[in-house]
Chain A
């Protein structure tokens, strides 16, 4: 019998600062390739920079924020950004941009701003799932 496992991932590091976001992305793809599911990916601390719509890397390099977005669309994965971490670092959706009277919003549309409660909610499946933190720079 093939067991299907439900994964939740936590991303703590910014893309391009170190390898960790890329490792998490490769791991996520391997999880799906192996026939398992990802319930939610939670972006926390510097990890929230993975959710910006303004990232513009050279054309021959991977655009990690766009890749997360496409993965979410294709596989129906919740992408959740920690609100406290995102507001401090200047990643805002339209609602927050209006609330704080900022000139624009820059959260990619498949990402949702929420709180740590969503991180805990991801853990409720712990008995049947795997909860993986990806590392950040020291």
Chain B
């Protein structure tokens, strides 16, 4: 069963992203939105977790609008794909369930 996890909190401020990554399966996808995009930084506290999960098959996305608004475009992990709101909608359809971490 694939789940789309939506995370909107920065891992520098909040533990929700850690909680999400701890239960994420290799079938799941994670989309980082709002301050959650700070999790996609090369220097993020969850960078090594993202790399490990990504190598096992979990897919990672970050919302382009929120990344650009924060000036982070050039500083992201290569494991994280930039996506539009349209892609966000497609992901929410492809995955069987949606879990918003708030």
- B-binding residues in A (CB < 8 A): 3, 5, 7, 12, 18-20, 23, 26-27, 29-31, 33-34, 36, 130-136, 138
Per DSSP, chain A at the interface is mixed
**Chain A nearest CB, measured from B64 CB (Å):** 12
Per DSSP, chain B at the interface is helix
**Chain B nearest CB, measured from A40 CB (Å):** 16
- Name the interface size band of chain B: 20 to 34
CB contacts (< 8 Å) of B16 on chain A: these are 138
- A-binding residues in B (CB < 8 A): 6, 8-9, 14, 16, 33-35, 65-66, 84-86, 88-90, 92-93, 98, 100-102
Residue on A nearest B15 in the bound complex, by CB: A138
CB contacts (< 8 Å) of B101 on chain A: these are 135
Docked-complex contact A26 and B85, CB < 8 angstroms: yes
Docked-complex contact A23 and B33, CB < 8 angstroms: yes
Docked-complex contact A20 and B89, CB < 8 angstroms: no
Whether A135 touches B6, Cβ cut-off 8 Å, given contacts A23-B34, A30-B85, A34-B86, is yes
Give 13 A-B pairs besides A30-B88, A138-B9 with Cβ atoms closer than 8 angstroms: A12-B102, A20-B8, A29-B85, A30-B84, A31-B89, A34-B86, A34-B89, A132-B6, A132-B98, A132-B100, A135-B6, A135-B9, A138-B14
**Chain A nearest CB, measured from B25 CB (Å):** 19
Docked-complex contact A23 and B8, CB < 8 angstroms: yes
Docked-complex contact B93 and A3, CB < 8 angstroms: yes
